[in-house]
Amino acid sequence: MVLERLNLLSRRQTLQWLIFASSTFILGACTPPKQTSSGNDLGDAKPSPSMSFSLGVTTWIGLTPLLIALKKGFFQELGLRVDLKTFGYNPDYISGFLAGKLDAIAPVTSEAVLLATKGKDYRIVLVEDNSVGGDGILARNSISSIKDFKGKKIAVEKGAVSHFFLLKVLTAVGLSEADVTLVNVDPAGAAAAYQVGNVDIAVTYAPFLKQANLAQPDGRIIYDSSQIPTAITDVYLFATEYIEANPEAVEAFVKGVFKGLGFLNQYPSEGLAIAAKELKIKPDALAADLKGISIPDARANLEMLGNKQSDSYLRSPLMDVARFLANQGKIDTIPDMEQFLEPKFVKAALETL
């Protein structure tokens, strides 16, 4: 996996190298560069898990509770093996899920809407996090405002969360995709292209966002997701076929993630060290990056997935995303996203935690 080499390089060398590496992600298609199971590394006497599933993700700080649960053996204690497959390019895990090569994925809401329009039968069983500053746009100091993006080249991963985020920001100031030139590159490569001067504007997310911002003195984070906190929510969703055949596995997964979150809250230093090692960043950098997202606990998750009267009920932002994508010509129909919300596994976890 690319991130396994980051600690061997300086920040500047890393970002330059990732410009080349980003192209190799695309060639990788649905072959994941890394797999991690929920078994621990100590070879203890715990019984082998009787349930398993494959989960496709991209490197993201919101996975912190999951990574802790994997390393601490929480899933194994619940009889579950999680086959974690980490992709460097968001559309790859979407393609893998659509093709039935993955049982579950951890997409953002815009990707969940796109899946719904492709006829994929799935259910959102857990909210991973809400971005409240973890996603952002880097711009040179010569660019004074978002309106100045007109006519500029922007490094962004087309068809993924950064693309959607950029479109929302452009629309707010009266611009459209036709007013800019998009350079298609993954979030790591976008940060790299910005730092070495290939582009004046880049859209990316943590940990690449702050890394590139610190490494490039001529520029700043001109806009981040704290200004539109409902625009980017990460979720865990499973194929309905898998859920119906393996409800106990899905329940164990949800419980395991909450155990990981509980461990992070109770033992923050150890939890951060575990996740930071997997993400190939320093614990203090991860702690800073986590301030850019909110990770809902079981009660907050139940509100988001199951309480139709709650202001945080996820259907509303999902429908906002769907309508926006339709207005942008990205989807032909607007699906009713309420049908994809499944709170019963969070409810079961809440009763036992």
Distance of CA 318 to the CA centre of its chain: 16
Burial of 94 (0-12, 13-18, 19+ CB in 10 A): buried
Residue 36 has a pLDDT of 54
**Confidence category of residue 130, pLDDT binned at 50, 70, 90:** very high
Residue 46 has a pLDDT of 54
Residue 230 has a pLDDT of 77
What's the average model confidence in pLDDT over 312-326? 92
Q: Which CA distances in Å does 332 have to 63, 73, 157, 241, 335?
A: 32, 44, 21, 25, 10
Question: Which of 130, 188, 185, 109 has its CA nearest to residue 154?
Answer: 185
The pTM for the full model equals 0.79
More confident residue, 196 or 88: 196
Residue 306 has a pLDDT of 96
Question: For 29-52, what is each residue's pLDDT tens digit?
Answer: 344 445 555 544 433 445 568 999
Q: Which CA distances in Å does 75 have to 70, 79, 81, 180, 352?
A: 6, 6, 6, 46, 15
Q: What is the number of other CB atoms lying within 10 angstroms of the CB of residue 269?
A: 10
**Separation between Cα atoms, residue 157 and residue 167, nearest integer Å:** 12
Question: For 285-303, what is each residue's pLDDT tens digit?
Answer: 999 999 999 999 999 999 9
Q: Are strands 104-105 and 51-58 parallel, antiparallel or unpaired?
A: parallel
Chain-wide mean pLDDT for the chain?
A: 87
**Separation between Cα atoms, residue 322 and residue 171, nearest integer Å:** 15
What's the average model confidence in pLDDT over 81-97? 90
Contact by Cβ (8 Å): 76, 38: yes
Residue 211 belongs to what H/E stretch?
helix 208-215
Q: What is the number of other CB atoms lying within 10 angstroms of the CB of residue 80?
A: 24
Q: Which residue has the tokens 């490094």?
A: 155
Residue 5 has a pLDDT of 30
Q: Which residue has the tokens 């991209």?
A: 58
Q: Please determine whether the domains at 49-129+229-349 and 133-225 fall in the same fold group of CATH.
A: yes
Residue 203 has a pLDDT of 97
What's the average model confidence in pLDDT over 88-95? 84
What's the average model confidence in pLDDT over 55-84? 96
Find residue 275's DSSP bridge partners.
none
Domain coordinates in residue numbering, the chain = 49-129+229-349, 133-225
**Confidence category of residue 13, pLDDT binned at 50, 70, 90:** very low
**Confidence category of residue 90, pLDDT binned at 50, 70, 90:** confident
More confident residue, 91 or 271: 271
**Separation between Cα atoms, residue 133 and residue 125, nearest integer Å:** 24
Residue 180 predicted with pLDDT over 90: yes
Contact by Cβ (8 Å): 187, 90: no
Q: What is the number of other CB atoms lying within 10 angstroms of the CB of residue 334?
A: 17
Question: For 321-351, what is each residue's pLDDT tens digit?
Answer: 999 889 888 899 999 999 999 999 999 999 9
Residue 24 predicted with pLDDT over 80: no
What's the average model confidence in pLDDT over 195-207? 94
Question: For 221-272, what is each residue's pLDDT tens digit?
Answer: 999 999 987 789 999 999 999 999 999 999 999 999 999 999 999 999 999 9
Residue 233 has a pLDDT of 95
Residue 149 predicted with pLDDT over 60: yes
Residue 82 has a pLDDT of 98
CATH number of 133-225: 3.40.190.10
Cα end-to-end span (Å), the chain: 34
Residue 129 belongs to what H/E stretch?
strand 122-131
What's the average model confidence in pLDDT over 142-147? 98
**Confidence category of residue 8, pLDDT binned at 50, 70, 90:** very low
**Separation between Cα atoms, residue 109 and residue 320, nearest integer Å:** 10
What's the average model confidence in pLDDT over 8-35? 36
The CB-side HSE value for 349 (13 A sphere, CA atoms) comes to: 30
Alpha helices in 28-100 (DSSP H): 64-72, 74-77, 90-98
CATH match of 49-129+229-349 with 2.60.120.280: no
